[in-house]
């Protein structure tokens, strides 16, 4: 993965049709997705339960771009090797998920993955100050994690603060939650590089009729691009 700050759209497959997941992934990748975002929830750290390493490994076979795995689980450390074996390119853990985030990030990198850290809406940007040299990505949650389709929370000031902490380091700022063709402009103007979108990508389409996916992805990208170009 070569680092660059071009806007990337990362559809969250939590919003896809899991009964046809291979074709869904092929559809979004062929219609403009840069990364594929995989949400893993444990029903403990967040009030929802999704998939584990075996399902992620099966999904990996269909992904030709970047598999961006977001762990909303606690604890994280016992599962790092399993997600590395499943083929994650990026593995993101929540800073709130355990007391030893530095150790977690070391384990992720030791297992050959890019290391991400996620911040819940109530966690300040300053929380990454002492781990900035151990991360490749910081995920700003713009909803409280656990469910798709929630109302967007504006975290522009946090994104701006993260930019100052990151400086010229090769660290992506990702935003996850409530992203669509309207809110994309807000977060991109603030400085986000990677936009995670679920229902906003998968609405009004299917693997059999994927043109809507392309239209939705392009609308999000255009909104973000217009803002960054104007600024």
Annotate 9-51 with DSSP letters as a single string: EEEBGGGS-GGGHHHHHHHHHHTT-SEEEEEEEBSSSSS-B--
Q: Which whole-number Å values give the CA distances from 51 to 39, 178, 190, in the listed order? A: 8, 21, 32
What's the rounded Cα separation, in Å, for the pair 75 and 167? Answer: 30
Reference 156, options 123, 126, 191, 184; nearest CA is 191
Query: How many CB atoms sit inside 10 A of residue 18's CB?
Result: 13
Phi, psi of 33 (to 5 degrees): -65, 135
Reference 189, options 169, 168, 160; nearest CA is 160
Structure tokens at 145: 């994690």
- Is the separation of the CB atoms in 113 and 89 below 8 Å? yes
What's the rounded Cα separation, in Å, for the pair 70 and 49? Answer: 13
Mean pLDDT by 10 residues, the chain (231 residues): 94 96 97 98 96 98 98 98 98 97 98 98 98 98 86 97 97 97 97 97 92 97 78 46
Q: What pLDDT, on the 0 to 100 scale, is given for residue 228?
A: 56
| Residue 176 among the catalytic residues | yes
Q: What pLDDT, on the 0 to 100 scale, is given for residue 146?
A: 82
The active-site residue out of 34, 39, 42, 180 is 39
| Residue 42 among the catalytic residues | no
The active-site residue out of 34, 42, 136, 176 is 176
What's the rounded Cα separation, in Å, for the pair 37 and 14? Answer: 8
Q: Is 204 left (phi over 0), alpha (psi -120 to 50) or beta?
A: left
Q: Report the DSSP beta bridge partners of residue 175.
A: 140, 195
């Amino acid at each position: 993965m070569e680092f660059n700050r071009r806007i990337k759209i990362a559809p969250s497959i939590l919003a896809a049709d899991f009964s046809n997941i291979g074709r869904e992934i092929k559809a979004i990748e062929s219609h403009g997705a840069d990364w594929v975002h995989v949400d893993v929830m444990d029903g403990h750290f967040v009030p929802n339960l999704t998939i584990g390493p075996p399902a992620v490994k099966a999904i990996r076979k269909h992904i030709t771009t970047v598999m961006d795995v977001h762990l909303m689980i606690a604890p994280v450390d016992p599962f790092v090797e399993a997600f590395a074996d499943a083929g994650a390119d990026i593995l993101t853990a929540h800073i709130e998920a355990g007391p030893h985030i530095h150790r977690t990030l070391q384990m992720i990198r030791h297992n050959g993955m890019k290391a991400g850290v996620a911040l819940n809406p109530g966690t300040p940007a300053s929380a990454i100050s002492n781990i900035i040299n151990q991360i490749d990505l910081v995920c700003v949650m713009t909803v409280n994690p656990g469910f798709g389709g929630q109302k967007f929370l504006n975290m522009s000031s946090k994104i701006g603060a993260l930019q100052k902490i990151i400086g010229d380091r090769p660290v992506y700022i990702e935003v996850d939650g409530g992203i669509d063709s309207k809110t994309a402009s807000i977060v991109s103007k603030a400085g986000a590089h990677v936009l995670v979108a679920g229902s906003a990508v998968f609405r009004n389409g299917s693997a059999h009729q994927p043109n809507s996916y392309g239209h939705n992805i392009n609308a999000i990208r255009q909104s973000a691009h217009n803002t960054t170009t104007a600024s």
